[in-house]
Amino acid sequence: MNYAIAIHGGAGTIVPEDMTPELEKAYKTALDEALNSGYRLLAEGASAQKAVAAATISMENSPLFNAGKGSVFTHTGGHEMDAAIMCGHDLSAGCVAGVSNVVNPVLLAEAVMEKSNHVFLSGLGAEAFALKEGLRLAPPDYFYVPFRYNQWKAVRDTNTYALDHNVQAADGLLKDKKFGTVGAVACDQLGNIAAATSTGGMTNKQYNRIGDTPVIGSGCYANNQTCAISSTGHGELFIRVIAAYDVSCLMEYKGCTLQEAMEEVVMRKLVNIGGEGGMIGMDASGNIAMIFNSAGMYRASQKNDGEKYIAIYR
């Protein structure tokens, strides 16, 4: 049986001229480490669920990605993180939103799925559940990354939110958009598939805003009969088109391949309403697709019968 994994570290205006050789190397190394974390488990016979969790944890632990340690700052100077995980063999899922001091939100989402009898927990209640389950918590300074702080400082006195790495141009317009969600999809040796997604959201976000990341069917979805999907982009638009589930529906009801369905959603349906970003997908045969309508997407994949693939730009 073929097994495979694909990961993403966000999409957006990611172009070579904005990247130093050192930073590009750092991103590729971080992607390689996350990919290896998941692929190694698959090779040992572990489940797709454990593989996507491991890969996502690796990116949550890196300050380079807008998830976990590298999460962006909210309007009040704190952090509100979201995550989800879903298993394709039984449609089980776990989601958390607005958690502030959980080191690995994807592990909390997994605990919700396995131990809570619920699907979705948020805020202080989700953090109380994390404490009950013995998950690792950390004080605010763990999540302090100077780059993220400077991003926030540039817009904190405004009502403007910023999409992760936005750069303020001389004319005051936001010219550079990056969507810093991370995620993974995998197919294990039993033919089961799974997906996971995690994010710190938008810089300077207010009112406990929640995007598509923890919403099953929008930022994350998995069904053995169709596909596993992890999305990254402007979350409000991905919610409006139910992006991840729409890929599954196109496969189930119209007979589209994974590639065809993802292209329809990312390159047409999202584009038609101004939705920028991308997604990674996996089917139960281990086929991989990574589609984005932005300038770039941090991405990587590996199959048991193929070469490792790591890329950033289009």
Which residue in the list 13, 56, 74, 181 is annotated as catalytic? Answer: 181
Token pair in block for residue 151: 């991003």
232 catalytic per annotation: no
* Residues 104 and 135: beta-carbon distance below 8 Å: yes
Nearest to 160 by CA among 100, 70, 277, 75: 75
Catalytic residues: 181
